[in-house]
Every structure is written in C-alpha cells, then in structure tokens.
Amino acid sequence: MLELEEALERILAAVPPLVSERVVLAEANGRVVAEQLPSPIDLPLFDNSAMDGYAVRAEDVTSAKPDTQVRLRLIGRVAAGGSFAGEVSASTCVRLFTGSPLPRGADAVVMQEDTRVETGQADEILVLDSAKPWENVRLRGEDVKRGAMLADTGEVLTAGRISLLGSAGYGALSVGRRPAVGLLATGSELKEAGQTLSPGQIYESNRLSLAILVRRAGAVARVFPLVPDALVSTREALTEGLDKCDIIVTSGGVSVGEMDFVKRAWEEIGGSLQFWKVAIKPGRPFVFGRCWEKFLFGLPGNPVSAFVTFLLLVRPALLRWQGAREVGLLSHPAVLAEPLANPGQRRHFVRVKVDADGKVYSAGLQASHALSSLASANALVDVPPGVSLSAGTPVAVLRWE
Ligand code: AMP
Ligand code: MG
C-alpha cells in the first residue's frame, strides 16, 4: 500500500510530454497556457481620461475653488475613440469623456462635476476645483508595460486573464491539448436512471460526478455504457476505452473479491499495473495502470471513494497532462468549529462544510457510500491516522469547487 504522496508522484512522473494546440481566446477559459504570452503593447495604450470632464494644464487651475473660479477657453471635444489634432495651451481646455485620449499639452482632467458652463457662454468653462498634475489621467503603460508577461506556460486561464489577453490584442493562443477521458462504471448491480430496479440493484451515479470533475479539470469526458461484472465484458469495455480515449477512469471492481475484474482484464488486454492501494480513507483500493502512453485509473466503486480518489489522484494527472504547473486542490486556512477524530490507521479525508467565517463543521455521516454528506460538503480536511482534533484547531481545508 502506497502513501498518497508517493502514489501521486508516480502518477505525475508517468504523464507524457505536453502536446499543444491553437485555440481562439474566446474558447480558452480553463485551458492551460502552453507558451509565453508577452504584451505586444502598453496598457493603457495611450494616456486617456478616467472621467467625463475637461483636459487642462494643471498649472492653469491651481487656484480654482468654488468661490475663485478659473475661466478656460473650450477649444475642442474628443469622444472615446476619437483624437484631437490640436494642443491644450495656456488657459484652454478640451472636452473629454472616459477613455478619450488626452490631448497634447494637457496634463490633467478636471471632472465634469467640478465645472460649470454659463448660459450663453458655450465656449467657456468655469473650473471650480484645482487638479494635480496627472489627476484623472490613466497613463500609458501604467497597468502593463509592453513586453511584460501577460500569461506564462502552465497557467490555467481564468475569465480575468482572458480579458487581459484580449485587451492586448490576442485572438488565439497555444494551450495544452485536453485528454479524452473515458468513464466506465463496473458492477452488475448498476442501472441507468429510468430503468426498473430488480431486487439488489441500484442506480449508477459515479459517471455523473466524475464527468463533472473531469470537465472541470479541463479534460473531455466520454461516458461509456455500464459494464457488468464479467471478465469478457470488462476486457471489451477497456479495449474500447483504450481505442477511443487517452485515459480510462473506471469505478468499482478493483477490490479483492472474485467479482472484481478490472485489474485482470487490464493486464489481459496488454496493460500493466503500476500500483494498487493507497493509504487513504475513503479510497484504499485505487489502482493505477499504463498501456504505452495511455492510463488506467481504477477507482473504488463506493461513490465517495471514487469522488475523493479522483480529486486527490486523477485530477492532478489530468491537469499535468495539459501542462498545468499547479495541480493540487486549493488549500485554505480555517478553524474547526467542532472536533474531528480519525481513529483509523489511514489518513481520513473528512467531508466538511466551511462557512463564510472559515469555521469548519463535519458534513455528516462519513461512510464511503454516504452521498448526503458529500452533497453538503464544500471541502475536505486531511485528518492523520489516530488523531483527534479538538474544536478551535486550525486546519487546512481542501476545496474543489
Ligand atoms: P466495488 O468497488 O465494485 O466493490 O463497489 C463498492 C460499492 O460501491 C458497492 O456497494 C457498489 O454497489 C457501489 N458502486 C459501485 N459502482 C457504483 C456506481 N457507479 N454508482 C453507485 N454505486 C456504485
Ligand atoms: Mg463492484
């Protein structure tokens, strides 16, 4: 039985070299950047106004106050998207809007609310307040200097970063190719929703949760039909999975029972088993196999075990496959609101609920078939074997949402 860290290390070491592809920026959310992306331009690209107002020379309005108003001659108007050919000289100003380029000669913007126009004096502006040099001006390059890195290899793109890349003019970029992940559920007791259950049968649910987690890890989920507990069916399903996918994730059939066929079927179709069993709860009977550059992740059938082993051991592999640098779950500091105990001999990843104040509560029944607690949980806490943590203990919570 492997420790979690060693299991993860061995999985990540087996991930094949990155293959990249071009995608349009609009489709790149969640994709892993496969090249360095420097900014081809300064951002902002030109000095421009942060307000609706008037471009002025700050020195012309130093004495402006509500009762000592400064009179400026209005010499032009620049809408956002326009430009001004002239120059702001002494005691003149130019009408601007948010985003209008700052005309030559001006070094500040007086906001509209600090000005007044007298009736019949449309070419004159009364300034009611002073402006410091560069006040209300967004300076060229103050956000990003030309040549600065906007995104680096291995970063997972977010809406914010995509917005930044778009503002620098990127329309497409190289990202890691998404692996196709085949999801197989084994078990003769399993039925699809809508089918009638005979005595002893249950509804299948692992492919649902795993497909969501696969997609959230940036990979492509391919859901395969249910696989009954028989060697031939398991072999056929795995062969088809190998044929159509880069990675196969099975659930069930990896325990010690004589009805557990995944390991044997995998070896019979030419795969090798890299390791079996990891010292965690839930999820001990996890198996990792290879067939050339393709992988098998055999997850335990219990729904919570499948979910947790996916998060801890499969998700990192899918992310690394796409070239991601960070592959672990997000970890946040929090504090136990009630005790958590692990009387067992394996690390227990306990389902918990973290509230907005960072207080951590057990999410309920912790058995590996119990889905109600998984449904209410928003994090896991790693409790070492034989350890009782009292209320008030600071803990790290692992999050997947
Ligand atoms: P196994 O790992 O095949 O021994 O299955 C362990 C437990 O998980 C058994 O109670 C199975 O019925 C249940 N189980 C296995 N696969 C699934 C699945 N896909 N959906 C729901 N329950 C499952
Ligand atoms: Mg089974």
DSSP assignment of 90-103? TTEEEEE-TTPBPP
pLDDT tens-digit series, residues 257-309: 999 999 999 999 999 999 999 999 999 999 999 999 999 999 999 999 999 99
Q: Domain limits of the chain?
A: 4-18+177-321, 20-44+142-176, 48-138, 330-399
User: 20-44+142-176 and 330-399 share one CATH topology?
Assistant: no
For ligand 1, atom 23, the nearest C-alpha belongs to: 301
Atom number, ligand 1, closest to the C-alpha of residue 257: 4
Strands (DSSP E) contained in 152-293 are 172-176, 180-185, 190-191, 202-203, 220-223, 247-251, 272-276, 280-281, 287-291
Instruction: Please provide the CATH number assigned to the domain covering 20-44+142-176.
Output: 3.90.105.10
301 alpha carbon to ligand 1 midpoint, in Å? 4
The CATH code for residues 4-18+177-321 is 3.40.980.10
Name the closest-CA residue to atom 15, ligand 1. 301
Say which ligand is closest to the CA of 259: 2
Query: What's the pLDDT tens digit per position in 67-106?
Result: 999 999 999 999 999 999 999 999 999 999 999 999 999 9
The binding-site residues of ligand 1, defined as CB within 6 angstroms of any ligand atom, are 185, 187, 189-190, 202, 204-206, 251-253, 255, 300-303
Angle at 193 between CA 242 and CA 225, to 5 degrees: 15
Q: Would you state the CATH architecture of domain 330-399?
A: Beta Barrel (2.40)
26's CB contacts (< 8 A; 6+ apart) are 162
pTM for this prediction: 0.93
Query: 370 C-alpha to center of ligand 2: Å?
Result: 16
pLDDT in tens, 16-75: 999 999 999 999 999 999 999 999 999 999 999 999 999 999 999 999 999 999 999 999
What CATH number should be reported for the domain whose range is 48-138?
2.170.190.11
3-state secondary structure of 325: coil
H/E segment holding residue 38: strand 37-38
CA of 292 to the centre of ligand 1 (A): 28
